[in-house]
Amino acid sequence: MNRQQQLDQFSLAVHRQALAAVRREPALRERARQTLARWRQQSGATRSDVLWDEWDQLLAGEVSALENAALVESDHGQLLRSVSPLGGLVSQSERMALLKQAREHAALQ
């Protein structure tokens, strides 16, 4: 498994964790939308705007559509995850545990 594949698997794991949190506490979607708003305010117009618009729509919609988009293993899914506001819903300790798991998995490959 190359480095990019490791990063993609880590990102998927982070998003699975974040979506589990959203399932438990739906109000977290609003926190992610606030993150998007803050990013837009801080950065102005960027090439990520189209993807941020997509995230905003996903966060306002059904959780199942959010999960499908965030977890799809495709080029577009990778691109969405690369500018995702969901990562902030995962604590630093959870993130470190997921990173350790990803590294261990890669070492076995």
Domain span at 90: 3-108
Helix (H/G/I), strand (E/B), else coil: 61:
coil
Question: Which pLDDT value is given to residue 103?
Answer: 81
Segment 4-30, tens digit of pLDDT: 778 888 999 999 999 999 999 999 999
Domain tally for the chain? Answer: 1
Pair 66, 58: CB distance under 8 Å = yes
Question: Which pLDDT value is given to residue 1?
Answer: 63
Question: Which pLDDT value is given to residue 32?
Answer: 97
Residue written as token pair 């979607």: 29
Q: Where are the beta strands (DSSP E) in the chain?
A: none
- Taking alpha carbons only, the member of 83, 87, 108, 109 closest to residue 98 is 87
Question: Which pLDDT value is given to residue 89?
Answer: 96
Segment 53-91, tens digit of pLDDT: 999 999 999 999 999 999 999 999 999 999 999 999 999
